[in-house]
Structure 1
Amino acid sequence: MKNVFLTLAIAFKMGFYKFLVLSTLALAIYACNQPHSSVFNSAAADTAAAPTLEGKEAIAHMQIDSGLEVQLVAQEPMVVAPVAMSFDPQGRMWVVEMMGYMPDTSGNGENVPDGKVVILQDTNGDGMADKRTVFLDSLVLPRAICLIDSGILVATPPALWYYEIKNDSAGKRTLVDDKYADGGNVEHQPNGLFRAMDNWIYSAKSDRRYRRINGKWVKENTHFRGQWGISQDDAGRLFYNNNSQNLLGDYFLPGMGANNPHQREAAGFDEKIVPDNRVFPIRPTRGVNRGYVKGVLDDSGRLVSFTAACGPHIYRALALPYSYYGNAFVAEPAANLIKRDILTDSGLAVTGREAYEGKEFLASTDERFRPVNITTGPDGALYIADMYRGIIQHKTYLTGYLKQQIATRQLTRPLNCGRIYRIVPKGKKVENQPLLLNRPTKLLDLLHDGNGMRRDMAQQLIIDHQLITLTPALRQMMQDSTQLLGQRHALWALEGLHALRWEDVSLILHSGNQPMQIQAIAAIPSVLSAANIKSALPLIDSLLADKSLVPYAAWLLPAVGKWDKTAAKRMVLQLMKSYMHDRYISAALINNACDQESAMLKELQGINPDTTLVLYKALKNVLESMQSAEEKKRMAALELAYPRGHEIFTTICQTCHGKSGKGIASMAPPLNESNWVNGSKKSLISIVLYGLTGPVTVQGKVYQAPEISGDMPGIGGSGEYSHEDIAQLLSYIRNAWKNNGDKITEAEVKAVRQQYNGRQKPFTAGELQ
């Protein structure tokens, strides 16, 4: 209770109005600080209730890498259920509070508008937030923010909004995208809103990117990436993951490709950076959704592999020892830990490995420790958003097993808790230093800063404030090969100011500095025009003749074709002849061949009839996945015939199996022309109700982890879907795309449910066969 009185005392100092605001939150800290044992009995963890711990005591339950310590930045009521965070130039933290996530195991009250965006500030320099300002409230499940220009992007499903900021209050609101998070459930909707080095804003679980140009919002296609959380390295490459994958990412800069919507997979994107998905919790973790499935837990009841991986972050600062620079950190809230991965840039490919064998960077014996997002602060410390709650599984996939675990250990309440921690060297005090907006030359200096977060922000501020007067200095910095980090940011700052010229790019391409040449290649589409295309072609030809640069330059084909179709066709033929065995260049060729795939395949067969060619097989895959006009008409009719089935498919199934039913890499196998979908009704109903654990053979191909998620969760245990709902869903899927199965009835679903009443574990393919 002493923390309650301390909170109220602070509130009185802050004035009567703020006292009223904080007093409404005082109950939250009381609920989170009820009496508990300070000793965690791991042997009784299977059945014991999980006590709620005060923030600093929760730290005592953590094991952190040697030489580091965890510090408390904020706890309830200062922050509640944080899921995303970002820093502004003053060093203040903007936090998204998703208070409505799973109020109970049935999700009752999930649509209550109780979400917020708040600003947290440390006014006395003691390292803890002591001032809370509510910027936005009355939001339903808010999930992401991005500070940009003089405002902020806020994602509240299904829309993406831009709010002007007026004295820390929300001003004019502009709709950016009314379908930003349209479809899917809370675990499978776009998020992240990451402002990358190339000045575009990217999201996880999305194939769209956004940018504000001359006061107007622009939306473009990009590659589909990840599930929850997104980050970048010093080169501007994006990294992400899904719930069962440690770390995925791109070899190429994010603006490359995504020109052909028929191309579901492109080599060099969505690559498995760290294929090792093992985790090493320090407590029994039986409270995971499929803990009853053999192999999910080890003999001591600990999770074996990722099941809720999220919030990946590339650390690019120097507050921690230098050995951590460039490492990836991945949160696993189901196992109460954060993993560290060491990445290696071997030229084209980026590879990685887990930093330790048999242990983690940070792990806790507190079951309510739920890290969901990680970022670097202006001080260089590593910051962690901890929802600090019991339930982290959405109702759609919640198994009866986990419901029982939640009830046994009283994990439903309290809901109004939340923590933010920072990780620093032991005994070190770090301070957030505001970026000086009134000194433009200081922003130039910051482009060389040792903290990547500060470099990123300096570039963004130069663009947001349209500091055109810095153009000559940026142009000079861009040519300074002794400062690679500053070079990169100077190039993209000029691009963001619309001051980058073909002459600037040409100088870099002639420099022989390959890391900067790669950046310049990615910037070429921004500077190509009808006026300079003729002078640019010889240099682009030379890039295509350079074996070390051609994998990057091949993605320029659409940009060249925009201004000179004849030159682009010549380049395509040259690349086809020379690189028909190369997976990356084949992907770039197909990216350029939208609606011309059949013609390209015919031309390729004229050059070389070998059907084992990488380019041949890639083209065949794309052609097989393309929908005809007749199929599109059929899908529209199915939506009318099975409206509830279409709705459930869009909300649940599509997020893993894809809109076209062709599956999504690292997530799920295809539904289109699947032997399981078109085969036994009973087997299909059983899978959807109770789930399926891999491996599974579809169309003669064996799918298993890590190529896809090891398990498909059933939706029959959630209580959300009736017999008729399931019947409509399966009838819809069995007749979608090229499928041609019989209709499934409500009675058939009911019969399967009655036969397997009480079943919790998913089926194996062997059982169903």
Structure 2
Amino acid sequence: MKSFRYLILLTLVSLSLLYCKTSQQAGSSSTSTTAVQSAPDETVDFTKSPFLTPEASMKRVRLEDGFELKLVAAEPLVSTPVAMLFDDKARMWVVEMPGYMPDTIGTGEDQPNGKVVLLEDKNRDGVYDDRKVMIDSLVLPRAICLIDNGILVAEPTNLWFYTLRNGKVVGRELVDAKYTVGGNVEHQPNGLLRGLDNWIYNAKSDKRYRKKGDKWLIEHTHFRGQWGISQDDYGRLYYNNNSQNLLGDYFSPGFGAWNKNQRGVAGFNEKSVADNKVYPIRPTPGVNRGYMKGVLNDSLKLNEFTAASAPVIYRGALFGSGYSWNAFVPEPSANLIKRNILSENGYVVKGTQAYQGREFLASTDERFRPVSLYNAPDGALYIVDMYRGIIQHKTYATPYLKNEIKKRALTQPLSAGRIYKVVPKNKPSSVVALPDVPDQLVSLLGHANGWVRDKAQQTIIDRKYLQLVPALQTAAQSGHTLLAIHALWTLEGLEKLTSEDVLTALEKPVWPIRMQALSAVPSVITATSEPKLTASLTKLLDSKDTLSAPYIGFLAHSIAEFNPSAARQLLTRLSAVYPQNRYVADAVTSNLQDQEVQFEQELTASVSDQNATIYRQLRRATATAKNTLANRNPEVLKKQFPKGEALFTSVCQTCHGADGNGIKSLGPPLNQSEWVTGNKDKLISIVLFGLTGPVKVNGHIYQTPEVSGDMPGIGYDKDMPSEDIAQLLSYIRKSWRNNAETVTTDEVAQKRAKLSGRQKAFTESELSGL
């Protein structure tokens, strides 16, 4: 028996070495790693999903005319990649997450097998050929950010900063022990995007970070997205959730998240592209709710996004002018990448899908899982392909999906992963490596490639090139818009931006420069500079500069620190001039936490229409404040139902909110919901097996796109104790302003037994019969 096992092991090793050799040979020449558009093989048997080599997988891709797909890295050089970034030498830092769902029940996902690896193209042929493990023994790492002399690494629940010296890790510092408090693997913060304004932003999070000397600053910001985050040329953020194509901000990201009584601020978390239709080129039955009516079409292809992942605003310039202001969004469950075209109308950014009935890139390989997209030093669009069968976490995996995984043997293998780039055909591209000569970096702040501009700004700041300040001040006043914008924020990052620099920029006729100057006011305002800055903002208000109006409202927050009276006057004047503008109304309200009633009374002298938008928004905030005061003490409930509170935090809070009032685009309220406080059987049924379709809560019908059209159940997980579910239900029935009787373990167990074998989510009409 021992010799037989040895023979099997020897055979597996031999096959593995043969495959590794094949992969390495495939990566040795750029011609063998290129795929162009072609119709997928119609003889493909879609009842099977075999593991394919990178070259075979690329043959399954249909790509937009005029483009080609090139392989730049694959196993064994890289394994299960989920995120990456480039450094100033065009090397790739890649996050590997091999621990994600090793099987359908997530066996061993808590093992410390995650890594951050450094890939390098030693012979400069466009294919990466060298691997170095920089950080290992991580549990489900999810995001990285190069900054200063080190790298931030998100490893739930912690955010770490690793100091680098001479290419090695020489120290580790804990930045935030609560980076991912709550949520499961699919609903935890990630992203670590280093923004134009020098702050680091995240998806699925309401925190932003910044390094100041040896200290880390952590501030509250708007809650955004689910997996992945990107920015445009003006530093506005874009993100999404699994069922939404693209969401985004109209204003600079640091504004407006100050009033806890506001349920959302206009101009943030807006639907940048509302059309969620997708067009796979293969049947996609292997989605979690494939059994539900409308999820798949008659050809068994996904109808709309169900696993939208990290979007990117393309800023590379290599594709041509028709691709500027384009947003690309991966949908790994449908094996495709969506292209959207954005346009501006004032401060509003909206977009449409580039095509109807087809995609920019789509594959018939079910294991092709594009999870993240990136701009790059060569202007190409880079694709991180996790290349694995299972991409649904066990918390939500339905028996239907588990059966699909079993039918097509999607569990193994677990060690693959590919990184591709999309480039125009017959158009040369070259990597821009940042020079070591400081003086050459300033001109790169105006480079056509947005990645180069961002990296030049970050490099000057990280290396503290203070000798460049005079050149940066000159660049900030140039007629080159993008150069001026990056020069301004580079000065800000060096702490050398002055109020005079900002005041000069506020006079510019070009709106994007005024936009950045307005965004930079909080960085330069002091007791000394406040009067001049307030006068400049008042001048913009007097000139009816409509685009500046919401910004002026947000900036009252900074002015109030030094001159509360001047700030109040600005808010009153804005309300009088723009009483029906919802963006101005919400900007004004963002300053007025717990002062909404008082301000409403003050405003009656200048705004007579009691139905004006400014009044409606103030009253909404007031109502939220009153409801919050009536809420129960969460600490008492946490002690009473510890398992329930933990389960709510990890599973329910991510869509319904910590305050139980729901989250835009995700979930309806639980606070004072008749579904929560009413019939126990209905509530137990929903939590066990989910709810699909429109649902009426307190007289309002919630349906897509206001919320996700599908709430997954947790009863499919047989390892989930009935006691924990009972505590969860008791916790939410007693939380906030709810005060219903508790749910017992026996009641949950009995319902589970009665509904055993069920695979479908409930509908509202079905529950009405219970």
TM-score band by shorter chain is over 0.9
Q: 1:518 aligns with which of 508, 515, 520?
A: 515
Corresponding residue SS for 1:443: helix
2:621 maps to amino acid: V
Give the Cα separation in 2 of the matches to 1:683 and 1:207.
33
Bigger Cα displacement from structure 2, 640-649 vs 464-473:
464-473
How does 1:237-248 map onto structure 2 within 5 Å? 237-248=236-247
Matched, 1:489 2:486: yes
- Preserved contact between residue 579 and residue 607 of structure 2 (Cα < 8 Å): no
2:711 maps to amino acid: M
Give the Cα separation in 1 of the matches to 2:701 and 2:62.
39
1:455 maps to amino acid: R
Q: In 2 relative to 1, CA 413–406 (structure 1 residues): closer, same or farther, beyond 3 Å? A: same
- Preserved contact between residue 632 and residue 735 of structure 2 (Cα < 8 Å): no
Corresponding residue SS for 1:309: coil
Corresponding residue SS for 2:202: strand
Corresponding residue SS for 1:460: helix
Q: Which residue of structure 1 aligns with residue 31 of structure 2?
A: none
Give the Cα separation in 1 of the matches to 2:429 and 2:606.
63
Give the Cα separation in 1 of the matches to 2:633 and 2:508.
55
Corresponding residue SS for 1:311: coil
How does 1:716-727 map onto structure 2 within 5 Å? 716-727=715-726
Give the Cα separation in 2 of the matches to 1:10 and 1:43.
23
Matched, 1:558 2:557: yes
Deviations 1:501-522 (A, max 9, x none): 1111111112222221111001
- Preserved contact between residue 23 and residue 54 of structure 2 (Cα < 8 Å): no
Q: Which residue of structure 2 aligns with residue 435 of structure 1?
A: 434
1:570 maps to amino acid: Q
Q: 2:461 aligns with which of 460, 463, 467?
A: 463
CA shift for structure 1 position 535: 2.4
Q: 1:477 aligns with which of 475, 478, 488?
A: 475
Q: Which residue of structure 2 aligns with residue 413 of structure 1?
A: 412
Give the Cα separation in 2 of the matches to 1:554 and 1:613.
17
Percent identical residues: 52
CA shift for structure 1 position 618: 2.0
Structure 2: give runs of 5+ residues left out of the alignment.
1-13, 25-38
CA shift for structure 1 position 620: 2.8
Number of residue pairs matched by the alignment: 740
Give the Cα separation in 2 of the matches to 1:3 and 1:681.
54
Q: Which residue of structure 1 aligns with residue 498 of structure 2?
A: 501
CA shift for structure 1 position 725: 1.1
Q: Which residue of structure 2 aligns with residue 4 of structure 1?
A: 17
Give the Cα separation in 1 of the matches to 2:619 and 2:750.
41
Give the Cα separation in 2 of the matches to 1:506 and 1:42.
65
CA shift for structure 1 position 8: 6.6
Corresponding residue SS for 1:154: strand
Corresponding residue SS for 1:761: coil
Q: Which residue of structure 2 aligns with residue 29 of structure 1?
A: none
Deviations 1:144-168 (A, max 9, x none): 0000111000000001010111232
2:510 maps to amino acid: N
Q: Which residue of structure 2 aligns with residue 704 of structure 1?
A: 703
Corresponding residue SS for 1:476: helix
Give the Cα separation in 1 of the matches to 2:610 and 2:636.
37
CA shift for structure 1 position 528: 0.7
Q: In 2 relative to 1, CA 739–611 (structure 1 residues): closer, same or farther, beyond 3 Å? A: farther
Q: In 2 relative to 1, CA 627–203 (structure 1 residues): closer, same or farther, beyond 3 Å? A: farther
- Preserved contact between residue 42 and residue 283 of structure 1 (Cα < 8 Å): no
1:721 maps to amino acid: M
Q: In 2 relative to 1, CA 247–630 (structure 1 residues): closer, same or farther, beyond 3 Å? A: closer
Q: Which residue of structure 2 aligns with residue 346 of structure 1?
A: 345
Q: In 2 relative to 1, CA 418–763 (structure 1 residues): closer, same or farther, beyond 3 Å? A: same
Q: Which residue of structure 2 aligns with residue 453 of structure 1?
A: 451
Deviations 1:105-156 (A, max 9, x none): 1011010000000000111122211100000000000000000111000000
Structure 1: give runs of 5+ residues left out of the alignment.
12-37
Deviations 1:372-430 (A, max 9, x none): 00001101111000000000000111111001000111011111110000111124553
Q: In 2 relative to 1, CA 243–629 (structure 1 residues): closer, same or farther, beyond 3 Å? A: closer
Q: Which residue of structure 2 aligns with residue 570 of structure 1?
A: 569
Give the Cα separation in 1 of the matches to 2:412 and 2:711.
28
- Preserved contact between residue 627 and residue 737 of structure 1 (Cα < 8 Å): no
CA shift for structure 1 position 710: 0.9
CA shift for structure 1 position 609: 7.1
How does 1:11-160 map onto structure 2 within 5 Å? 44-45=45-46, 48-160=47-159
Corresponding residue SS for 1:535: helix
Corresponding residue SS for 2:633: helix
Give the Cα separation in 2 of the matches to 1:41 and 1:114.
39
Give the Cα separation in 1 of the matches to 2:22 and 2:383.
27
Corresponding residue SS for 2:170: strand
Corresponding residue SS for 1:687: helix
Corresponding residue SS for 1:350: strand
Give the Cα separation in 1 of the matches to 2:614 and 2:606.
12
- Preserved contact between residue 242 and residue 308 of structure 2 (Cα < 8 Å): yes
Bigger Cα displacement from structure 2, 690-699 vs 292-301:
690-699
CA shift for structure 1 position 291: 0.3
Corresponding residue SS for 2:746: helix
2:456 maps to amino acid: A
Bigger Cα displacement from structure 2, 529-538 vs 353-362:
529-538
Q: Which residue of structure 1 aligns with residue 382 of structure 2?
A: 383
Quote the RMSD (CA, aligned, Å): 2.0
Q: In 2 relative to 1, CA 432–584 (structure 1 residues): closer, same or farther, beyond 3 Å? A: same
Deviations 1:252-278 (A, max 9, x none): 011121122332300000000000000
Q: Which residue of structure 2 aligns with residue 307 of structure 1?
A: 306
- Preserved contact between residue 388 and residue 418 of structure 1 (Cα < 8 Å): yes
Deviations 1:577-608 (A, max 9, x none): 33332111111111101222232344346765
Q: In 2 relative to 1, CA 615–699 (structure 1 residues): closer, same or farther, beyond 3 Å? A: farther
Corresponding residue SS for 1:401: helix
- Preserved contact between residue 342 and residue 352 of structure 2 (Cα < 8 Å): yes
Q: In 2 relative to 1, CA 719–40 (structure 1 residues): closer, same or farther, beyond 3 Å? A: farther
Give the Cα separation in 1 of the matches to 2:43 and 2:557.
58
Q: Which residue of structure 1 aligns with residue 532 of structure 2?
A: 535
Give the Cα separation in 2 of the matches to 1:7 and 1:743.
57
Give the Cα separation in 1 of the matches to 2:468 and 2:192.
27
Deviations 1:43-64 (A, max 9, x none): 752xx23101111111110000
CA shift for structure 1 position 755: 2.4
Give the Cα separation in 2 of the matches to 1:9 and 1:755.
53
Give the Cα separation in 2 of the matches to 1:122 and 1:40.
32
Deviations 1:720-743 (A, max 9, x none): 422111111011001100111111
CA shift for structure 1 position 622: 2.2
Corresponding residue SS for 2:653: helix
Q: In 2 relative to 1, CA 376–364 (structure 1 residues): closer, same or farther, beyond 3 Å? A: same
Give the Cα separation in 2 of the matches to 1:648 and 1:331.
30
Give the Cα separation in 1 of the matches to 2:353 and 2:719.
39
Q: Which residue of structure 2 aligns with residue 759 of structure 1?
A: 758
CA shift for structure 1 position 685: 0.9
- Preserved contact between residue 379 and residue 432 of structure 1 (Cα < 8 Å): yes
Q: In 2 relative to 1, CA 617–94 (structure 1 residues): closer, same or farther, beyond 3 Å? A: same
Q: Which residue of structure 1 aligns with residue 201 of structure 2?
A: 202
Deviations 1:501-554 (A, max 9, x none): 111111111222222111100101111101121222211211233242212221
Q: Which residue of structure 2 aligns with residue 612 of structure 1?
A: 611
TM-score after normalising by structure 1: 0.93
Q: In 2 relative to 1, CA 612–695 (structure 1 residues): closer, same or farther, beyond 3 Å? A: farther
Corresponding residue SS for 1:351: strand
CA shift for structure 1 position 623: 2.8
Matched, 1:646 2:634: no
